[in-house]
Chain A
Amino acid sequence: MIELVDLVKSYDGVTNVVDGLNLTINSGELVVLIGSSGSGKSTILRMINRLNSITGGDILIDGESIQKKNPIELRRGIGYVIQKVGLMPHMTVGENIEMVPKLLGWDKKTRRKQAMAMLARVDLPAKEYYPRYPGELSGGQQQRIGVARALAVNPEVILMDEPFSALDPITREQLQQEILALQDELHKTIVFVTHDMDEALKIADRIALLKDGEIVQYSTPEELLRNPVNEYVREFVGNDRLWQTPEFLYARDIMRTNVTRISMKRTAAQAIEMMKDKDTYVGYVIDTESRPAKRFRGEVSMQQLKNARGRKMAEIMNPDAVFVYDHTNMAEVLSLMQEQNYKRVPVLNRDHCVVGYINRSALLNIITDVMPSAGSDDPVELTAETITEAA
Chain B
Amino acid sequence: MNFFEYIIMQKAEIFTLTLQHLEITGMSVLMAVAIGVPVGIMITRFKKAAGIVLGIANVFQTLPSLALFGLIIPIMGIGYTPSVFVLFLYALLPIIKNTYLGIDSVDPAIIDAGKGMGMTDGQILGTIEIPLSLPVIMGGVRISTVINIGTATIAALIGAGGLGDLIFKGISMNNTNMILAGAIPTALLAIGADYLLGWMERRLTPTGVSAP
Q: What is A's interface to B at a CB cutoff of 8 Å?
A: 49, 51, 72-77, 80, 82-92, 99-100, 103, 133-136, 146, 149, 159
Contacts and interface: CB of A to CB of B under 8 A. Distances in A.
Nearest to B120: A72
A89 B116 contact: no
Contact of B118 (A75, A88, A89): A75
Interface string B105-135: 0010111111111111001000110011000
B154 to A, nearest CB: 40
Contacts of B70: none
A80 B113 contact: yes
Given A80-B113, A86-B113, A90-B206, A133 B118 contact: no
B74 interface: no
Nearest to B119: A103
Given A85-B109, A88-B128, A99 B117 contact: yes
Contacts of A87: 110, 113
A134 to B, nearest CB: 7
Nearest to B111: A86
Interface residues of B, number: 23
A82 B115 CA distance: 12
Interface of B: 107, 109-120, 123, 127-128, 131-132, 206-209, 211
B107 A84 contact: yes
B67 to A, nearest CB: 43
A80 B117 contact: yes
A230 B18 CA distance: 83
Given A73-B118, A86-B109, A89-B110, 12 more contacts: A76-B118, A82-B109, A82-B113, A85-B109, A86-B107, A86-B111, A86-B114, A89-B107, A90-B131, A90-B207, A100-B117, A135-B209
Contacts of B132: 89-90
Contacts of B117: 75-76, 80, 99-100, 103, 149
B211 A49 contact: no
A89 B109 contact: no
Contact of A133 (B111, B123, B208): B208
A100 B118 contact: yes
Given A73-B118, A90-B131, A135 B110 contact: no
Which has the most chain A C-beta neighbours within 10 Å: B120, B123, B127, B131?
B127
Nearest to A159: B116
Q: Which 10 A-B pairs have the closest CB atoms?
A: A86-B113, A90-B206, A133-B208, A76-B118, A84-B109, A75-B118, A80-B116, A86-B109, A135-B211, A86-B110
A91 B114 CA distance: 13
Contacts of B115: 51, 75
A1 to B, nearest CB: 21
A89 B132 CA distance: 8
Contacts of B211: 133, 135-136
B209 A74 contact: no
A103 B116 contact: no
A88 B209 CA distance: 9
Contacts of B131: 90
A146 B208 CA distance: 17
Contacts of A86: 107, 109-114
Contacts of A136: 211
